[in-house]
């Protein structure tokens, strides 16, 4: 599926660019780390979309991010595996969702 486009770029593109800007030029991931990054990216992308057809999946992804309910791999463990601060990412996503609900586009 092609990423959504807008004049400022989609939220997924912005997060992708910010994340990769933090990686060192020689940063390499193991297969497991790539899997955890894909899991995180999918969950974040689902929570940031405004597609009503994906509401259930987005709600499940948001619950996973918040640590609600059972999961084979927790949000915290996935973040730790790729070197992300799960608390900071949660705060960022909460702020983004709150601002987006208000119609604001800054984070």
Q: What is the mean pLDDT of the chain?
A: 81
Q: Is the pLDDT of residue 87 over 80?
A: yes
Arithmetic mean of pLDDT, 72-96: 94
Residue 49 phi, psi dihedral angles, 5° rounding: -80, 155
Q: Is the pLDDT of residue 64 over 60?
A: yes
Assess contact for 54 and 46: CB atoms under 8 A: yes
Between 66 and 28, where is the model more confident? 66
Q: Where are the alpha helices (DSSP H) in the chain?
A: 11-22, 31-48, 55-66, 75-82, 86-102
Long-range contacts from 88-97, C-beta under 8 angstroms, 24+ separation: 89/44, 89/65, 90/65, 90/66, 93/44, 93/47, 93/48, 93/65, 96/11, 96/48, 97/47, 97/48
67 token code pair: 């640590």
The Cα 79–Cα 4 span in angstroms is 25
Arithmetic mean of pLDDT, 36-50: 90
Kindly report, residue by residue over 30-41, the tens digit of the pLDDT. 899 999 999 999
């Amino acid at each position: 599926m092609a990423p959504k486009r807008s004049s400022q770029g989609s939220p997924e593109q912005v997060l992708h660019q910010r994340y990769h800007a933090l990686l060192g030029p020689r940063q390499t991931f193991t297969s497991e780390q790539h899997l955890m990054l894909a899991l995180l990216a999918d969950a974040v992308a689902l929570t940031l979309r405004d597609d009503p057809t994906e509401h259930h999946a987005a709600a499940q992804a948001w619950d996973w991010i918040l640590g609600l309910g059972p999961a084979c791999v927790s949000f915290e463990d996935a973040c730790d595996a790729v070197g992300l601060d799960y608390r900071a990412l949660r705060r960022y996503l909460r702020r983004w969702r709150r601002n987006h609900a208000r119609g604001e586009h800054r984070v």
